[in-house]
Chains A and B, each alone.
Chain A
Amino acid sequence: MSIKKLSKAFNIYSGEKPLSGALRLLYIGLLVYAVMMLFFLLMFSITSDKDLEIKKIGNMFFPLSVMMINFIAIGTTPIEDKSFTFAKFVRTLPDSFNVYKNAYIAKALLGFIVMIAFELIVFAVSELFTHHLMFGVCGIIISLSGIMIYNAVNEVISLIKNKIITAILFGAWSIGFMVVVFMSVYMLTDIVPVLLIAAAAIVFFVIGMAINFKKMKKEWVK
């Protein structure tokens, strides 16, 4: 598995080079975050305790924006389902399943890199110009770990064939996940449990990836 292969696979699946894909993703993330912040800055500029409100809003949008980047990152590799006609193109490529696997890994890595870059930019801008964020490195690690766990559990949920049950589980899990991540980001400040969460997230990510590959391999030969 080389960077070149990952880059090639990402290009095939997304139609753009990884760097332009990453920049586009970062641009969208920052733009949405800035628009949201601007809106609430204007809204709370008329309140008496505006500093506190802005601080709250800024902190709330931070993990939300990270999650949004993750969703967009998934969107940059549009097809993982053979029922889409584009999958026929993918299926007829030389070494097609490995291209798929590499695209999956490339997508995940790129998503994480963009999320870290986004977090660092927002963190720096917030600290310098607007407000102090209520969390530091621990919060960043938790939000990233949360995304990894979230995706892995989604892979497990996708194995259920009943679409109604899948939809209910997906909804409940998404809401529950967001609550837990928000709480953890603000409450956990000790590095040891945070590192344990990060380690668990890596295990979850690998399991989720293995489930996805197994599921897709079946699709490939069906």
Chain B
Amino acid sequence: MKNSIKLTDVVKKYKDFTLGEINLEIPCGFSTALIGSNGAGKTTLIDVMCRISGKNSGDITYFEKYKEADDNYVRNNIGYCASNNFFPAEWTSKNVAEVMEVAFDNFDRKKFVQLCEKMKLDTPDSKKKKKIMKLSDGNKMRLYLAAILARNTKFLILDEPASALDPLMRDMLCDMFREYLAEDEERSILFSTHNIADMEYATDYAVFMANGKIVEKGFVEELKEKYALVHGSADILSKVSDRLISYTGNKTMFEGIALTENRSQLEKYDIAIEVPTLQQLSVGILRKAEKDNEVK
């Protein structure tokens, strides 16, 4: 399977935080969610991938052959978007269109106008155009996304694209991801999020991060086969807790995540075993990572 990007032993050190070592391949043709709690290192990883920040060690390969993010092919084919203040606050959609047009050869102004209309934003040709500073957070993100999606790229890297969006727009964003991937089989998407519930429909591959490290990764369907959601009454918890990778509970019941290879042992007890949603998986995996970190 082809990769859009491959990271080998990548480390980025700050005074109070270290990212890595990161070994990661983002598969071509799919949408990948980078999932982690606040401060897990998602933005740092994205910044290193996009060469906004340098790395201390390790290798990054783009589109299977390019070693430098600053290579023009790489820059032209990666559509990157930050989570906020991506464009200056005093700009309007017209400024955005003009700048994107001169900055990137593959920017399609017509498509940008269509996307603005679809997302109910001022188009560059509207008589009255609001400055970005006057837009709500959600509309700012819509404008950023319209600017990025109007480029003919092969790989989208989006930092928290869904956080500021309303549920309807998140749903639309999922559809846009699907359309983007369907247009070219060599395309792929990487987006970070700590709120996976609304983006599950758009996620094929998931990468879980905690404390600057990758704690789990894989195709969503494979992860759902690897892990099981377990819930039952609280009195059984003490008997099965050593089989659970993480759990939460109250006086009457508990819920946790277990490896499906332990299914036969768990089935001996009066508990329900189900296929977890990505949201439930995320909570279980990240909770375990937090617990492991506390032990360290």
Known A-B contacts A16-B95, A93-B75, A221-B54; A86 and B85 likewise in contact (beta carbons under 8 Å): yes
Query: Does A176 sit within 8 A of B, measured CB to CB?
Result: no
Residues of A within 8 A of B236 (CB): none
- The answer to whether A17 and B98 have CB atoms under 8 Å apart is yes
B242 shortest CB reach to chain A, Å: 45
- The answer to whether A94 and B76 have CB atoms under 8 Å apart is yes
Known A-B contacts A12-B103, A91-B52, A92-B52; A85 and B85 likewise in contact (beta carbons under 8 Å): yes
Residues of A within 8 A of B88 (CB): 15, 78-79, 86
Bound Cα distance from A5 to B75, whole angstroms: 18
Query: Does B281 sit within 8 A of A, measured CB to CB?
Result: no
- The answer to whether B86 and A94 have CB atoms under 8 Å apart is no
B10 shortest CB reach to chain A, Å: 15
- The answer to whether B87 and A89 have CB atoms under 8 Å apart is yes
Residues of A within 8 A of B175 (CB): none
Looking at the complex, which one of A15, A85, A92 makes contact with B99 (CB distance below 8 Å)?
A15
Interface centre among A17, A93, A95, A222 (most CB of B within 10 A): A93
Residues of B within 8 A of A97 (CB): 70
Tell me how many residues of B have a C-beta within 8 Å of chain A: 27
Query: Does B102 sit within 8 A of A, measured CB to CB?
Result: yes
Bound Cα distance from A96 to B75, whole angstroms: 9
Which residues from 50 to 78 on chain B have a C-beta closer than 8 Å to any C-beta of chain A? Answer: 50-54, 70, 72, 75-76, 78
Bound Cα distance from A17 to B98, whole angstroms: 9
Majority-rule SS of B interface residues: loop
Looking at the complex, which one of B70, B75, B78, B86 makes contact with A86 (CB distance below 8 Å)?
B86
B293 shortest CB reach to chain A, Å: 28
Query: Does A158 sit within 8 A of B, measured CB to CB?
Result: no
Return the chain B residue nearest A93 by Cβ: B103
B55 shortest CB reach to chain A, Å: 10
- The answer to whether B91 and A89 have CB atoms under 8 Å apart is no
Query: Does A163 sit within 8 A of B, measured CB to CB?
Result: no
Residues of B within 8 A of A99 (CB): 103
Residues of B within 8 A of A222 (CB): 53-54
User: Chain A 11-45, CB within 8 Å of chain B: the 1/0 string?
Assistant: 11001110000000000000000000000000000
Return the chain A residue nearest B50 by Cβ: A92
- The answer to whether B102 and A8 have CB atoms under 8 Å apart is yes
Bound Cα distance from A8 to B100, whole angstroms: 11
Return the chain B residue nearest A84 by Cβ: B85
B141 shortest CB reach to chain A, Å: 13
Return the chain A residue nearest B94 by Cβ: A15
B58 shortest CB reach to chain A, Å: 15
Query: Does B104 sit within 8 A of A, measured CB to CB?
Result: yes
Residues of B within 8 A of A86 (CB): 85-88
- The answer to whether A11 and B52 have CB atoms under 8 Å apart is no
B1 shortest CB reach to chain A, Å: 26
Query: Does B266 sit within 8 A of A, measured CB to CB?
Result: no
B16 shortest CB reach to chain A, Å: 16
Return the chain B residue nearest A17 by Cβ: B98
Bound Cα distance from A8 to B53, whole angstroms: 25
